[in-house]
Amino acid sequence: MSNEKLQQFMKELDGNLLSDDAKLSAEMFDDENSVICIKVEDREEFPIYMTLDEGQILCTTHLFGEDQVDQSRRAEMIEDMLMLNISIPLSAFSKVGGQYVMFGALSPNSSTDDLLHEIELLSDNVLDAIDAVSEFLKEAA
Amino acid sequence: MSIFKKLITALRGGATEVGEAIVDTQAIRILEQEVRDSKTALNDAKTNLTAIMAEKMGVDRKVKDLGAKIKEHEGYAMQALDKGDEALATDVATKIADFEHELNIQNGILEGYASKIAALKKMIRQTERNIQAMDREISVVKTTEKVQKANDLASAKFSGSTSSLRSATDSLERIKARQQKREDQSAAAMELESEESGGDLQARLKNAGIVDSGSSGSSVLERLKKQKEKS
């Protein structure tokens, strides 16, 4: 049931434009049809993964792994993230295993416009968030 | 243990070791088992609730009946008193006392059912909340695992420079650079367009005072008339 709804979301989102005309692509990410992978044009590095359960639609983007964090400043970064959480519109930080993520949750009855709004905000928030905490990340090798 | 504490305990497992599995699968299996157990408990609670509510309805009816009977017999007693039949009135009053005694008992049972129903409803709501929280957590962890696997696969394809491929700051820089390029391109395109339509030259001529920006239909007509007079 939820998989069918997710497929419907995928069809509705794929090819849609955001307010700045950036194009979305949406495709099933797994064989079980339980995750949609959404990419915003020009921001393909940070795909948004959409899942659905009885209680909510979850849009999640992976920011970086623990291995990218400067361990000597980890506590400082986490405190910053925690403080920042409330100011970020509709998205919040979280951590799954060794992955820092940003996510937004919506009602399962959301419209396509609601989803588009969420995706646009999350995508913007992700870039701003990485910018904000980049000082705590290790320089890329 | 609160559901959030339980989730943290389950999820901490693999999170401490960088590069290890997202969460050790054992913890997820335990969570999944717990969801199954909770769902069974939920079904039992719902069946119980239905049964108790049905029983309560039965008692409700009894209480109502007793109330009606008491009222009815009070009427009889009054009539007996009106007729001066004290003995009959006493018999009826005894009957009323019996009813009132029974009513007290049934009201006690009713209260018991009501508080049981409230407790069950609370428990059902809590269990549903817990199941949703655990389901959500399992789904998030599984999704992350899938994404992680896909990322690992992708970076293995670009063997060697895995760290730069996956660096968040690098990705951000790339996106910013692309955005800048796009903005530059559109600015250049606009400039080109205004040049092509002569906007640029006109603007420069106007700025230099060579072209009169106040030129209007009437001034042109005036000029043409003068030219005609000369010819």
**Mean pLDDT of all residues in B19-33:** 71
Query: pLDDT tens digit string along A52-98?
Result: 987 889 999 999 989 999 999 999 999 999 999 998 989 999 998 78
Tokens read off for B227 = 């030219």
B140 and B39 share one domain: yes
pLDDT in tens, B51-72: 999 999 999 999 999 999 999 9
Pick the CATH number of A2-136 from 3.50.50.60, 3.30.1460.10, 3.60.90.10, 3.40.50.2300: 3.30.1460.10
Q: Which residue has the higher pLDDT, B24 or B193?
A: B193
B146 and B181 fall within a common domain: no
Of B107, B109, B104, B108, nearest to B52 by C-alpha is: B109
Contact B140 A65 (CB under 8 A): no
Residues of A with CB under 8 A from a CB of B: 29-30, 34-35, 42-43, 45-46, 49, 51, 53-56, 58, 60, 62-68, 95-99, 101, 127, 130-131, 134, 137, 139-141
- Same domain, residue pair B191 and B161: no
Same domain? For B176 and B129 the reply is no
The domain of B183 spans 167-212
Q: Are B167 and A68 in contact (CB under 8 A)?
A: yes
Buried b (16+ CB within 10 A) or exposed e, B177-197: eeeeeeeeeeeeeeeeeeeee
Which of B24, B147, B158 to substitute to test the interface with A, most A CBs within 10 Å? Answer: B147
Domain assignment present for residue B225? The answer is no
At residue A13, what is the residue type?
A: L
Residues B120 and B28 grouped into a single domain: yes
Q: Number of C-alpha atoms within 13 angstroms, CB side, residue B228?
A: 6
| Closest B-chain CA to A53 | B136
Instruction: Provide the mean pLDDT of chain B.
Output: 82
ipTM, 2 dp: 0.80
Single out the residue of A38, A49, A133, A137 nearest to residue A84, CA to CA.
A133
| Residue B46 contacts residue B127 (beta carbons within 8 Å) | no
Q: Which of A34, A64, A97 sits opposite B22 (nearest CB)?
A: A97
Distance CA(B70)–CA(B24), nearest Å, equals 67
User: Residue B87 falls within a domain, yes or no?
Assistant: yes
Residue B15 lies in a domain: yes
Residues of chain A found within 8 Å of residue B144, distances taken between Cβ atoms: 60, 62, 96-97, 99, 101
B144 and B46 in a common domain: yes
The pair of structure tokens assigned to A36 is 């949609």
**Band (B158; pLDDT cuts 50, 70, 90):** low
Domain count, chain B: 2
Question: Cβ atoms within 10 A of the Cβ of B102, count?
Answer: 16
- CB A80, CB A88: distance < 8 Å: no
Q: Could you give the dihedral angle defined by the CA atoms of residues A88, A129, A63 and A85, in that order, rounded to the nearest 10 degrees?
A: -30
Q: Is the same domain home to B76 and B171?
A: no
Give domain status of residue B217, yes or no.
no
| Last-in-domain residue among B133, B148, B166 | B166
CATH number of the domain enclosing B48: 1.10.287
Do residues B38 and B102 both lie within one domain?
Answer: yes
User: For the sheet containing A36-40, what is the strand order?
Assistant: A24-28, A36-40, A48-52, A57-65, A99-106, A92-96
Q: Are residues B30 and B60 in the same domain?
A: yes
pTM above 0.90, yes or no: no
Domain match, B112 and B125 both: yes
pLDDT by residue (tens digit) across B82-139?
999 999 999 999 999 999 999 999 999 999 999 999 999 999 999 998 898 888 888 8
